[in-house]
C-alpha cells in the first residue's frame, strides 16, 4: 500500500501548485456567484459546509482536543478569518478578480509588521524590501490611465481584508506555538466563520430568497468553493508542506494570485494593461520575498541555471 512517504517530492510540488491554481480560480468563481447570491450569504454556506466536511474527515484527530482553551483560540481565528472573507468578498463586488487577488496577497507583506506590533519582533531587511515592493505594486494598481491616483471602495475593502488576514496569520502562529492542536482550531475557525457570516448577512443583507440556491450554476460554484477550494486544498496544503522544503513550498503557494489573474483574463474578460501587469509583478515579487525570502530566490536561480538545489535558512522576520 502506498503511503505519503512513498510519494515523490515532485508530486507533492505539483499538488501544491494545483492547490494554488484552484485557489486562484476561486476569485472568478466567487465573482460569478455574487451575481446571484449576496457575499455574506455565500460565505455562510461555504464555511458551514466546509466545517462539516473537514470536521468529519478529521474527527478522530479533532475529538481529543476539544478543550475550552483550544475552542477559544479557534473562535478568535474564526472571527478574524470570517470577517476578512466577508470584507474581501464585499470588496470583490466593486473590483476585478485579478485586482482583488493581488491586493489580498499583500497580507504576506503585512505579517512581519503586524507581528512587530503584537510580539515586538522587529522585521528584518527582507521584510522591508518586500514592503517596498508591495507599496510600489499597490501604487501602480491605484494609478489611473490619466495618471490620477485612486482606489475604488472595493479595492480599499480588499486592503482592509488583507490587514485582517495578516492578523489571522500572526494569531495562528501564536496559538500553535502555545501547543493548541492545529486541525481542531481549523474546524472551530470554520464554524465560527460561518457564525460571523450569518451575523453579517442578517445585518447587512437581510433574509434572502433561498430559491437562488436552486440555480445549477450556484451549486457548481458551491462545489468548487466547499469541496475543492476548502476541503481538498486544505488537506493538500497540510500534507504537501510536510513533504516539500519551505522555500519552494511558499513559492508554489504564492502562485495563487498569478493563477487568479490568468483565470480572470480567460473567464471574466479582465484587461491587464502594462501598468497593471507591472503592479501585479511588483506585488508578486513582494509576496515571494516576504514568504520565502532569500532561499526562494536561490531555489529559482538554481533551477534556471540547472544547478543542484541547496536549501538555506532564511532571515527570520
Q: Supply the DSSP symbol for 308.
A: P
Would you put residue 102 in left (φ > 0), alpha (ψ -120 to 50) or beta?
alpha
Other Cβ atoms closer than 10 A to 149: 8
- Residue-wise pLDDT tens digits, 135-185: 888 777 776 665 555 678 999 999 999 999 989 888 888 887 788 888 888
Q: What 3-state class would DSSP assign to 257?
A: helix
Q: Label residue 2 by pLDDT band (50, 70, 90).
A: low
% of the chain at pLDDT higher than 70: 86
Q: What's the Cα-to-Cα distance from 208 to each of 38, 46, 50, 83, 90, rounded to whole Å?
A: 8, 16, 21, 20, 16
Residue 82, pLDDT score? 94
For residue 283, what is its C-alpha cell?
A: 506585488
Return the domain boundaries, the chain. Answer: 4-305
The C-alpha cell at 100 is 482583488
pLDDT reading at 3 higher than 70 = no
Most confident of 51-60, 121-130, 288-297: 51-60
Contact in structure between 111 and 123 (CB atoms under 8 Å): no
Amino acid at each position: 500500500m502506498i503511503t505519503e512517504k512513498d510519494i515523490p517530492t515532485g508530486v507533492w510540488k505539483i499538488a501544491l501548485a494545483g492547490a494554488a491554481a484552484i485557489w486562484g480560480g476561486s476569485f472568478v468563481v466567487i465573482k460569478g456567484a455574487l451575481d446571484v447570491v449576496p457575499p455574506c450569504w455565500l460565505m455562510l454556506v461555504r464555511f458551514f459546509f466546509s466545517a462539516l466536511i473537514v470536521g468529519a474527515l478529521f474527527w478522530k484527530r479533532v475529538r481529543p482536543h476539544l478543550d475550552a482553551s483550544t475552542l477559544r483560540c479557534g473562535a478568535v481565528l474564526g472571527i478574524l478569518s470570517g470577517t476578512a472573507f466577508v470584507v474581501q468578498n464585499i470588496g470583490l463586488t466593486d473590483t476585478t478578480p485579478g485586482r482583488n487577488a493581488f491586493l489580498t496577497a499583500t497580507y504576506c507583506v503585512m505579517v512581519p509588521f503586524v507581528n512587530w506590533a503584537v510580539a515586538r519582533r522587529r522585521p528584518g531587511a527582507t521584510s522591508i524590501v518586500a514592503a517596498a515592493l508591495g507599496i510600489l505594486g499597490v501604487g501602480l494598481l491605484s494609478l489611473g490611465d490619466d495618471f490620477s491616483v485612486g482606489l475604488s471602495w472595493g479595492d480599499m475593502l480588499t486592503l482592509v481584508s488583507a490587514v485582517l488576514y495578516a492578523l489571522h496569520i500572526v494569531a495562528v502562529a501564536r496559538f500553535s506555538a502555545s501547543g493548541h492542536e492545529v486541525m481542531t482550531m481549523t474546524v472551530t475557525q470554520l464554524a465560527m466563520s460561518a457564525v460571523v457570516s450569518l451575523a453579517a448577512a442578517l445585518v447587512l443583507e437581510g433574509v434572502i430568497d433561498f430559491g437562488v440556491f436552486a440555480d445549477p450554476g450556484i451549486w457548481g460554484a458551491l462545489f468548487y468553493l466547499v469541496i475543492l477550494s476548502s476541503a481538498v486544498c486544505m488537506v493538500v496544503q497540510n500534507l504537501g508542506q510536510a513533504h516539500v522544503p519551505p522555500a519552494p513550498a511558499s513559492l508554489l503557494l504564492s502562485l495563487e494570485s498569478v493563477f487568479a489573474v490568468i483565470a480572470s483574463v480567460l473567464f471574466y474578460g479582465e484587461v491587464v494593461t502594462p501598468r497593471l501587469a507591472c503592479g501585479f509583478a511588483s506585488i508578486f515579487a513582494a509576496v515571494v520575498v516576504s514568504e520565502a525570502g532569500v532561499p526562494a530566490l536561490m531555489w529559482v536561480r538554481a533551477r534556471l541555471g540547472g544547478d543542484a538545489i541547496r536549501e538555506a535558512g532564511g532571515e527570520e522576520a
